[in-house]
Amino acid sequence: MTELPSPELIAALGGTEQTIAELLRFFGFRVRNYHSVPVIDAALQSVGLTTDPPFSTCRRTETMKVVPPGPATVTDDDGNDADDSQSDALPHRPFLVSDLPCATATDILRAKSVRSNDTLQKALHMMQREGLSQIPVIDGVSELKGIVTWRSVATMYLRTGIAHELANAMEPAETVEKHMDLFRELPRLNEHGYLLVRDNTGSLTGIITTADITRRFHDTALPYYLLGEIESRLRSCLSRLDANAIGAILKGKNSIAGLMFGDYLKLLHPESDKYAAAVEANWQSLGWRGVDRAMFVNDLRRVKSVRNSIAHFDPTPPTPEDIDHLRKFSSLLKQLM
């Protein structure tokens, strides 16, 4: 697995312009796909950066600017928020080990471990029955004795003159603290296939495996791509609005480029009577005669909610209903382009 550059090197990208190929090369990837996109974007997010246009959807020949996710919230003359970027912006913190549900699944860890006085046969039986590549050996609450893996079992059987018992099939276990940056631990996880997780008191709380990472990023990648597709198509639709129409509602802004989902909503739904006429003019400019504005705005709000849950590493992945909504909304935008 690719080892990520240090946070200092990643932060140094701020203010630069990068092509797709250059950004991939910087992070040690060759192609833009379901694996590289979430890793690169999360790494940028961890130091408070993103790309404009989005790395996931921009054209291969296009140059991206590496910038902060959005301006801080400012207030207009009437005291109303002119930008809800506090809720819409990406988080300025890394993806922690504890963001994986399995890292704190203590009950599952207990059910899928053995004690040092158990037999080797029991450990092997549980590994086969549960489809495990490893099983930790834990006495009491958190006295970690070691771990049994298929590799350690094979090593034991290849050695001569030793008894085929649990103690001889164990090897030292790899551990990680749950508050640590997950991405910095990925090389070690890839090497060993697992990491046992401890909390700040030293108690064991769970185990993460390479399979958990694969599932997590697969679950993240699909809605991520759908959201990128939606934003690209939405910007294409809203590009029909001129600079004056945008600036009349979003103070200090005159282009669709760089706007966030909260901004899109403000262009289509008035926050106060002050902007009602301007928003109505925007809607008429789009020429969407067969689209119900209230339904469209509600659909867009749901998309924004899903997007924020992903951007803030909500441990609960989007539901199948959320994914279906993203697909349908993206399809609608395609028809409106």
Asked whether residue 300 carries a pLDDT value surpassing 80, the answer given is: yes
Which has the higher per-residue pLDDT, 75 or 280?
Answer: 280
Rounded to the nearest 10°, the torsion over CA 234, 239, 241, 246 is 80
Determine the pLDDT at residue 312: 61
pLDDT averaged over the chain?
86
Q: Residues 45-95: pLDDT tens digits?
A: 888 899 988 887 676 777 899 998 754 333 344 433 333 444 444 444 567
Determine the pLDDT at residue 196: 97
Determine the pLDDT at residue 184: 87
What residues contact residue 95 under an 8 Å CB cut-off, 6+ apart?
42, 46, 181, 182, 183, 313
Q: What is the mean pLDDT of residues 248-256?
A: 87
Q: Which of 87-101, 117-131, 287-301 has the lowest mean pLDDT?
A: 87-101
CATH architecture classification, 97-210: Roll (3.10)
What residues contact residue 152 under an 8 Å CB cut-off, 6+ apart?
169, 170, 171
Asked whether residue 153 carries a pLDDT value surpassing 80, the answer given is: yes
Determine the pLDDT at residue 258: 75
* Of 86, 88, 12, the residue nearest 44 (C-alpha): 12
Q: Residues 104-113: pLDDT tens digits?
A: 999 999 999 9
- Band the pLDDT of 2: cuts 50, 70, 90: low
CA distances from 141 to 113, 138, 284 (A): 11, 7, 65
Q: Residues 11-47: pLDDT tens digits?
A: 999 999 999 889 999 998 887 775 677 788 888 988 8
Domain ranges of the chain: 1-68, 97-210
Q: Residues 198-225: pLDDT tens digits?
A: 988 889 999 999 999 888 777 767 888 8
Determine the pLDDT at residue 31: 78
Determine the pLDDT at residue 83: 38
